[in-house]
Amino acid sequence: GQKRKVWELIRHKVNPVAACPRDVEDLKKRWRDLKRRDRSKLCRLSQGCGPPGPDTALGLLLAPEEMSPAAAPPA
């Protein structure tokens, strides 16, 4: 019951600022997808050739819409 209450609280915080309203199950799926995407990016980082520079690491960890325009890679 407590987990459900926390997800409901998250839903009430996210929906006013979201592009489209989501229910609790949609939020859980989105959270799992984000975790999987980030794990995949971290895995690629760790298998790269040599240590990545700060711009490279930032580009792999953040989606283009999450980066500031100055840090975004050229299209």
Give the residue numbers spanning the domain of 23. 2-48
Q: Which residue has the higher pLDDT, 40 or 67?
A: 40
Determine, yes or no, domain membership for 44: yes
Q: Which amino acid is at 6?
A: V
pLDDT of 28 = 96
Determine, yes or no, domain membership for 36: yes
Mean pLDDT of 32-52: 80
**Residue 31: alpha-carbon gap to chain centroid:** 8
Determine, yes or no, domain membership for 6: yes
Mean pLDDT of 15-32: 94
Determine, yes or no, domain membership for 67: no
Q: Does position 72 have pLDDT exceeding 60, yes or no?
A: no
Determine, yes or no, domain membership for 39: yes
Among residues 68, 73, 69, which one has the least CA distance to residue 56? 73
pLDDT of 12 = 96
pLDDT of 11 = 96
What is the count of structural domains for the chain? 1
Q: Which residue has the higher pLDDT, 49 or 70?
A: 70
